[in-house]
Amino acid sequence: MKRSFDKLALSRFAEEAGVPVPRTLEAYEGALESFDGPLLVKSRFHWEPDGATSDGRLEARIAPNRESARAYVEDIRNAEGAPILQELIDDQLMGFTILTDADANPVAELQQMAPLTWRPKIGMPARAHTIPVDEELARGIRRMLKALGWFGLIQLQFIVSSDGRPFLIAFNGRAYASEGLALSAGINFHDLWGRIARGREWERPGAARTGLRYQWTEGDIRQCLATTRRGRARALAGCLGWGLGATHPIWSLTDPAPFIRYPGDLLRRYRRLRRLAAAVAEPAAG
């Protein structure tokens, strides 16, 4: 199962199954010289339990040039990660969610586009909407998961290039933020997964409803505030318009408590970060 989360190994499985992937290489010096222009620097494993970072997470970063890429590679090595280099494809983010049974056969599928992310280019979806499943892409994904022997829920992330080709960039074998969109579209992935895992009766769902919207409001507002002052009002109006009738990760009329607690959680997180920054700066000041 570990090979599923190894970004370098996954790219090989994807290619063999006919799923397009960006050019991906181990970060040795010759590989770095073979890239022109901006590129992505990642760790082979997004999370290292014994890594040097405080939470074990090693985030991907966009390197605008080779000098920056070398510095990012060293940062990952210093955090006890294994750096890789990946071609940067700058376009729209797409998600493909699939549940497989114990024999790696598909049970349910959903596809969504994310016209807005935070952080830009490599962040989480701030806005998304469901689209029809691309059957050609789905066949390649099914072959890949069959080769991996995958059982359970998985959300794959793709970048769709300007010519319409999807390139696999992430393999998220876990719960994900926009799961509410799948529920709105008529697919309860977790209920199905639990029934299959426990040997209970289950029913294959129909195709997911298309055209439904999702919004991560915090990320959407951050993206709006990052725009130029001239375009900020228009961006915020778009944020409001998208949110009306959309599914949200923590807001529900039937269960408002998480949303009510969320501002307080944000404030506590902000205060913790300020205390941490002050503690780091104090020795330097002294």
The predicted-structure confidence for 214-264, as pLDDT tens digits, reads as follows 999 989 998 888 888 888 999 999 999 999 999 998 877 777 787 777 777
Q: Please tell me whether residues 152 and 63 are part of one structural domain.
A: no
pLDDT in tens, 177-197: 899 999 999 999 999 999 999
Q: Which residue has the tokens 């949110």?
A: 243
- Give domain status of residue 156, yes or no: yes
First to last CA, the chain: 49
pLDDT value at residue 52:
45
* pLDDT band of 277, cuts 50, 70, 90: low
pLDDT value at residue 247:
93
Give the integer Cα–Cα distance in Å for 58 and 72.
11
| Single-letter residue type at 211 | G
Q: Please tell me whether residues 202 and 119 are part of one structural domain.
A: yes
- Give the mean pLDDT of the chain: 87
pLDDT value at residue 253:
73
Q: Please tell me whether residues 102 and 174 are part of one structural domain.
A: yes
Q: Omega into 119 within 30° of 0, i.e. cis?
A: yes
- Write down how long the chain is: 286
- Give domain status of residue 257, yes or no: no
pLDDT value at residue 251:
74
- Give domain status of residue 274, yes or no: no
SS3 73: helix
pLDDT value at residue 127:
96
Q: Please tell me whether residues 46 and 140 are part of one structural domain.
A: no
- Give domain status of residue 216, yes or no: no
| Single-letter residue type at 5 | F
CB 220 within 8 A of CB 116: yes
Tally of domains within the chain: 2
pLDDT value at residue 28:
83
Q: Is the pLDDT of residue 40 over 60?
A: yes
Q: Please tell me whether residues 79 and 115 are part of one structural domain.
A: no
Q: Which of 176, 210, 244 is the last residue of a domain?
A: 210
Give the integer Cα–Cα distance in Å for 97 and 138.
10
- Give domain status of residue 15, yes or no: no
SS3 117: strand
- Give domain status of residue 189, yes or no: yes
Q: Please tell me whether residues 117 and 59 are part of one structural domain.
A: no
**Portion of the chain with pLDDT greater than 70, in percent:** 90
Q: Is the pLDDT of residue 115 over 70?
A: yes
- Give domain status of residue 224, yes or no: no
* pLDDT band of 279, cuts 50, 70, 90: low
Q: Please tell me whether residues 117 and 185 are part of one structural domain.
A: yes
Q: Please tell me whether residues 109 and 206 are part of one structural domain.
A: yes
229-243 and 217-225 helices, crossing angle to 10°:
160
pLDDT in tens, 56-102: 567 888 899 888 999 999 999 888 888 999 998 878 999 999 999 99
Which residues touch 247 (CB under 8 Å, ≥6 apart)?
A: 178, 180, 181, 183, 184, 212, 213, 214, 215
What is the extent of the structural domain holding 201? 92-210
pLDDT value at residue 54:
45
Q: Please tell me whether residues 46 and 73 are part of one structural domain.
A: yes
pLDDT value at residue 32:
87
Give the integer Cα–Cα distance in Å for 43 and 280.
26
| Pairing label, strands 61-63, 39-43 | antiparallel
pLDDT value at residue 168:
94
**Portion of the chain with pLDDT greater than 90, in percent:** 54
pLDDT value at residue 49:
53
pLDDT value at residue 120:
81
Higher pLDDT, 283 or 37: 37
CB 248 within 8 A of CB 256: no
- Give domain status of residue 128, yes or no: yes
CATH of the domain at 67: 3.30.1490
CATH of the domain at 110: 3.30.470.20
Which stretch of DSSP H or E encloses residue 196? helix 189-197
Q: Which of 210, 238, 258 is the last residue of a domain?
A: 210
Q: Please tell me whether residues 120 and 178 are part of one structural domain.
A: yes
Q: Please tell me whether residues 41 and 117 are part of one structural domain.
A: no
Q: Is the pLDDT of residue 9 over 90?
A: no
Q: Which of 34, 58, 87 is the last residue of a domain?
A: 87
Give the integer Cα–Cα distance in Å for 229 and 251.
29
Q: Please tell me whether residues 110 and 201 are part of one structural domain.
A: yes
